[in-house]
Structure 1
Amino acid sequence: MAGQSVDYNKLIFKHLSSEDGLSQRSVTDVLQDKNGYLWFGTRDGLNKYDGDKITIYRHKSNDFNGLTNSWVTSIYQDHNSNLWIGTKDGLNRYIPEKDNFVQYKQDSASNSLTDNSIWSISHVNDSVVGVATNNGLNLIDLKNFEISLFNVESKTNKSLIEDNRFRHILTTKKGDVWLCSVELISVFNSENNLITEIDYPTDLRSEIHLNISPTLFEDAQANIWLGYEKGLAVFNKTTKKFETFKIDDKKIINSGVRTICQDNHGNIWIVLMTDCMF
């Protein structure tokens, strides 16, 4: 969509499928860790690929050092190299020395997760990881792995976040935390402790993100992109609204957007539910 000229005909792709050992063909998230391993989250297991073979991790009943659930929703590596695995039923931290996991789930303790449905994981700052759940944003202190609930209250002790069914979290380069919920997008400015609420594009019906996650991305020019069920939008810094992305006044993406990224040449890549384009 932008950037320098690149000869994409010289790109070489290698396909990994169930025949190659992948646990399931529906890949929900991909991450390359700092050691070079590729991790693939699927709806039936977590896969670690070393360039030669695939190791599969699945949930097993009564295995308290395994995954809490086999449906992986999010994979994230923090600034301290901890690898976090979000699932449909709990959060996991990978322990490479033992090749197993520490499990985090909701329980009666005051410092547990507020919900087991994990949607997104990202850093809030260098020492805190944020976990977006169906019942609030959980903050994990990387010094001791204690969990607390993110909340901003008004002078009347009323939460300033109207919808806490979070679906995606993005922390920008300047430190603002963007939170996609089912009904709206909340932006937290840590400098002044203020919350700004932003509506989704007008072509969305209410509750569309109840079961489908939107995605946010900040490009090299600090533009904020929103991928959602009906297409692609970009944040207008003047109007403070998300506007549908168009070329020659024509909307070019009409299907759901899974993820957005930018390559070293400045091209923006859009992964759709059915295709990929840039």
Structure 2
Amino acid sequence: MSTCSWAQTVNFHFKHLSAVDGLSNSSVIAMEQDKLGQMWIGTRNGLNKYNGTRFDVFKNEPSDSTTLSNSDILSIKEDSDGYIWVGTYNGLNRYDPVKNKFKRYYQTKSPNSLCNNVVICIKEMDNGEVWLGTANGISVYDKAKEAFRNIPYVEGNISSLPYKNVQRIFVDSNKDVWIGTSRGLAKLIGRNGDRFEFEQFKWENDSQDLFIQDIIETMPNTLGLATKYNGYILFDTDQKNSKHQSILEYPILLMSGYYNVPMMAPFGWAQPMA
């Protein structure tokens, strides 16, 4: 039998960075730290690179196609080649730090283009593919072919995405791919060329959407789901059920590396679609 208690109160000190320091906008939507330790901060009006002492600001300049496609930033991700991918409300961008230029990607009539111009999240896979969650499905960018293959939401098809609005793409320690949407969770269970098969998980109460905004792995075979309407949910990937967790009521002891996450009585279950 073991017990644990708080030995002391830890005081955290924050440094506030604002427009006075050079930040382009006070509404921060996305962040990423690159291999050099620089912070990339996406705001509602510009992309900021912060090196610890000053900001460099990148914005859309309509007359210059090597600038951002849009200044309203939604997502940022550095890939294994050192490029910075930036999703906006109007197009995807790849920043080349050597050339100091952006390459833009838009949805066009081509089947090999981006599936939607609203790019909500970005994830690079182990094979080098860049997966992009958009407001209308997922685009998978093949670096070698410099082309996209798209994963649509198909209404009524339980092997497709739960919904078109993709908020998060996450890979767990078992290399399983999880997709969080505004109407449920999905796990990639099969892939054959351009065909992708998913298992869907939705909130038992169909009148309330399971709007997933973020996904983490709290421990092996357990996902933490940040939702818009249902709080924080712990999802057991083995048993395929979930329990509502009040993180305000139970502390998680991270300082010592020990996770203490007691379960509450079930608030609701996320059931696989039959």
What is the TM-score when the length of structure 1 is the normalising length?
A: 0.77
Secondary structure, counterpart of 2:93 in structure 1: strand
Separation in 1, partners of 2:77, 2:176: 19
Kept after mapping to 2: 8 A contact 1:127/1:143 = no
Q: 1:82 to 1:205 in 2, by over 3 A?
A: same
Deviations 1:137-190, CA, capped at 9 Å, x for gaps: 10011334321113699xxx9963352322211122222211122222111024
Deviates more, 1:44-53 or 1:186-195: 186-195
Alpha-carbon displacement from aligned partner over 1:218-276 (angstroms, at most 9, x marks no partner): 235342110011311110245412321137xxx749xxxxxxxx8894679xxxxxxxx
Return the alpha-carbon distance in structure 2 between the equivalents of residues 188 and 135 of structure 1: 17
Question: 1:198, 1:241 within 8 Å by CA — same for their partners in 2?
Answer: no
Q: 1:197 to 1:29 in 2, by over 3 A?
A: same
- Say whether the 8 Å CA contact 2:69–2:93 is kept in structure 1: yes
Render the CA deviation track for 1:106-165: whole Å, top value 9, x for unaligned. Answer: 112221101001111112333211000111110011334321113699xxx996335232
The answer for the alignment partner of 2:88 in structure 1 is 87
Segment drifting more, 104-113 vs 41-50? 104-113
* Counterpart Cα distance in 2 of 1:65 and 1:266: 47
2:10 aligned with 1:8, yes or no?
Answer: yes
In structure 2, relative to structure 1, the CA distance for the partners of 1:267 and 1:159 (3 Å cut) is closer
Which structure is higher in RCO with an 8 Å CA cutoff and minimum separation 6? 1
Once residues 196 and 145 of structure 1 are traced to their aligned partners in structure 2, the CA distance between those partners, rounded to angstroms, is 29
The aligned residue for residue 97 of structure 1 is: 98
- Aligned 8 A contact 2:159 2:198 in 1: no
Deviates more, 1:141-150 or 1:195-204: 195-204
Contact 1:141/1:147 (<8 A) preserved: yes
Contact 1:185 1:200 in 2 (8 A): no
Question: Could you say which residue in structure 1 is the equivalent of 2:23?
Answer: 22
Question: Mapping of 1:158-237 within 5 angstroms?
Answer: 160-190=160-190, 194-200=197-203, 202=205, 205-206=208-209, 209=211, 214-230=213-229, 231-237=231-237
| Deviation >4 Å, runs of 4+ | 4-7, 190-194, 201-204
How well do the aligned residues superpose, as a CA RMSD in angstroms?
A: 3.3
How far apart in 2 are the matches of 1:158 and 1:267?
35
Q: Distance in 1 between matches of 2:186 and 2:259?
A: 27
Q: Which residue of 2 aligns with 1:272?
A: none
C-alpha contact 2:25 2:46 (8 A) present in aligned 1: yes
- Where 1:19 maps in the other structure, the secondary structure is helix
Q: 1:149, 1:42 → 2: CA distance?
A: 27
Letter in 1 for 2:75: S
Query: In 2 relative to 1, CA 59–266 (structure 1 residues): closer, same or farther, beyond 3 Å?
Result: farther
SS of the residue corresponding to residue 219 of structure 1 reads: strand
Alpha-carbon distance between aligned partners in 2 of 1:65 and 1:95, rounded to the nearest angstrom: 10
Structure 2 unaligned spans of 5+:
261-274
Cα contact 1:39–1:48 (8 A) shared by 2:
yes
Listed as ranges, the gaps of 5+ residues in structure 1 are 254-261, 269-278
Q: What SS does structure 1 have at the residue aligned with 2:109?
A: coil
83 and 267 in structure 1: CA distance in 2 versus 1, 3 angstrom threshold = farther
1:1-278 matches, cutoff 5 A: 8-9=10-11, 11-150=12-151, 160-190=160-190, 194-200=197-203, 202=205, 205-206=208-209, 209=211, 214-230=213-229, 231-237=231-237, 239-246=239-246, 252=249, 265=257
- Contact 1:74-1:119 at 8 Å conserved across structures: yes
Q: Note closer, same or farther for the CA distance 1:263–1:53 as it changes in structure 2 (3 Å cut).
A: farther
User: Aligned partners of 1:5 and 1:189: how far apart in 2?
Assistant: 45
Greater Rg over alpha carbons, structure: 2
User: Which amino acid letter does the alignment assign opposite residue 108 of structure 2?
Assistant: D
> Would you say how many aligned residue pairs link Structure 1 and Structure 2?
248
Shift of the 244–68 alpha-carbon distance from structure 1 to 2, 3 Å rule, reads same
- SS of structure 1 residue aligned to 2:20: helix
Percent identity between the aligned chains? Answer: 28
